Amino acid sequence: MTGSQGGAALHAVRAADQLTAADAVAWFAVDTPPNGRVIGYALSARAASWLRVGSDGAVEATGSPGDVLAEAYEMVLFDGERELRWLRAPDGRGTAIAVGENPADLPPGDDVTADPPPRRADETHTRLLAGRPHPHDRAGWTILRSERYAAAHLPVPATGGDVLVVETVEYLVEDEHGNVDVADTRTLGLRATTSAAVRVVTAGTGTGGERERTAS
């Protein structure tokens, strides 16, 4: 891959201290506006659970047993502009890093932006989640069901579409020879759309039965 990249730079900050999953959520979501939408997922030994974080920092999860944050070993949250990445260490705490294109929107912490920072690529990518959305008994949530995978509870309304997709964007770095490589990927959002609005680029099995697609 070759070419010059001039997109927005990806900035990163790391929390000054090792944090529990709950503390990482509070660190990331402290300045979320009332109409903000922070969602994401937490991975534990027995489940992959989707989450929704309110403007007050309260964490909402459904369809998963136990305390989702207490059992998590990895967590990713996003609001369209920023992304939180947290990985648990053996003592129950872990490193929390927030990334985004506007440094002013990131929580306080140590600047760990790459030098030079990766630049945003022009295109976004759409990953299709396997299964069909079904109504949920909790407002703003959808149950995704398929014959191959366990039912998943996702914090997104499924009105206006018959499939759910995750949108991401890539960030690129260029070496002295003009070669460009993907250095990072950030999640933009989770939304409902129609199967007619996406076309297959690659297909395969991934976590949660995802297949990569791109908007037509």
Mean pLDDT along residues 198-208: 44
What pLDDT score does 2 carry?
46
Cα separation of 136 and 124, whole Å?
29
Mean pLDDT along residues 23-45: 86
Following CA atoms 138, 154, 159, 162 in sequence, which dihedral angle do they give, to the nearest 10 degrees?
Answer: -140
Cβ atoms of 99 and 184 closer than 8 Å: yes
pLDDT digits (tens, 9 = 90+) for 133-188: 998 999 889 999 988 888 899 999 877 678 999 999 999 998 888 888 999 999 99
Cβ atoms of 154 and 142 closer than 8 Å: yes
Give Dmax over CA atoms of the chain in angstroms. Answer: 55
Say which residue the tokens 């079904």 belong to.
134
Q: Is the pLDDT of residue 84 over 90?
A: yes
Cβ atoms of 145 and 132 closer than 8 Å: yes
Distance in Å from the first CA to the final CA of the chain:
23
CB-based burial label for 114 (10 Å; 0-12, 13-18, 19+):
middle
> What are the phi and psi torsion angles at 30 (to 5°)?
-60, -35
Cβ atoms of 168 and 187 closer than 8 Å: yes
Say which residue the tokens 């299709």 belong to.
128
Q: Is the pLDDT of residue 63 over 80?
A: no
Q: Considering only 29-43, 59-73, 121-135, 154-168, which range has the smallest mean pLDDT?
A: 29-43
What pLDDT score does 83 carry?
97
Cβ atoms of 108 and 13 closer than 8 Å: yes
Q: Which of 139, 150, 156, 146 is nearest to 51 (CA)?
A: 156
pLDDT digits (tens, 9 = 90+) for 98-108: 999 999 999 99
Q: Which of 136, 149, 133, 151 is nearest to 194 (CA)?
A: 133
DSSP β-bridge partners for residue 48: 43
- For CA atoms 33, 39, 44, 49, the dihedral sign is positive
Say which residue the tokens 């030079």 belong to.
116
What pLDDT score does 6 carry?
67
